[in-house]
Amino acid sequence: MRVSLNGKSINTLCKFAFELKGESDLVILNGYQLTKDTALKEDDTVCVIKKDVMPNRDELESMMASRHTPKVHEKVKSAKVAIAGLGGLGSHIAVALARLGVGELLLVDYDIVEPSNLNRQSYCISHLGMKKTDALKRQLVDINCFISVKTVDAYITEKNVSDLFNGYNIVCEALDNPETKAMLVSKLLSNFADVKVIAASGLAGFGSSNDIKTKINFGRLYTCGDKTSAAVVGQGLMSPRVQICAGHQANMALRLILGLGEV
Amino acid sequence: MIVNGKEIILQKEISLKVFLEKKGYDLARIAVEKNGIIVEKNSFETEKLCCSDKIEIVSFVGGG
- Average of per-residue pLDDT across A105-132: 98
Domain boundaries, chain B: 2-59
Tell me whether A189 touches chain B (CB under 8 Å): yes
Other Cβ atoms closer than 10 A to A174: 30
CATH topology of domain B2-59: Ubiquitin-like (UB roll) (3.10.20)
CATH architecture of A73-257: 3-Layer(aba) Sandwich (3.40)
pLDDT value of position A94? 99
- Average of per-residue pLDDT across A123-133: 98
Alpha helices by DSSP H, listed for chain A, are: 57-64, 72-77, 88-100, 132-143, 161-165, 178-191, 239-257
pLDDT value of position A165? 98
Confidence of residue A58 (pLDDT cuts 50, 70, 90): confident
Confidence of residue B11 (pLDDT cuts 50, 70, 90): confident
Tell me whether B35 touches chain A (CB under 8 Å): no
| Cβ-based contacts of B40 with chain A (< 8 Å) | 186-187, 190
Of A176, A185, A242, the CB nearest to B62: A176
Measured in degrees and rounded to the nearest 5, phi and psi for residue A230 equal -90, 155
Domain boundaries, chain A: 2-68, 73-257
Is residue A6 exposed (0-12), middle (13-18) or buried (19+ Cβ within 10 Å)? buried
CB B39 within 8 A of CB B47: yes
Q: CA of A10 to nearest chain B CA: how many angstroms apart? A: 47
Tell me whether A116 touches chain B (CB under 8 Å): no
In CATH, the number for domain A2-68 is 3.10.20
B60: closest CA among A230, A211, A130? Answer: A230
What percent of chain A has a predicted confidence (pLDDT) above 70?
100
Q: CA of A188 to nearest chain B CA: how many angstroms apart? A: 10
List A residues 124-183 in contact with B (Cβ-Cβ < 8 A).
Answer: 174-179, 181-183
- Average of per-residue pLDDT across A225-252: 98
Strands A32-33 vs A26-29: parallel, antiparallel or unpaired: antiparallel
Q: What is the pLDDT of residues A177-211, one digit of tens each?
A: 999 999 999 999 999 999 999 999 999 999 999 99
pLDDT value of position A250? 99
Confidence of residue B2 (pLDDT cuts 50, 70, 90): very high
What is the dihedral sign for C-alpha A159, A165, A169, A172? negative
Beta bridge partners of residue A33, listed in sequence order: A28
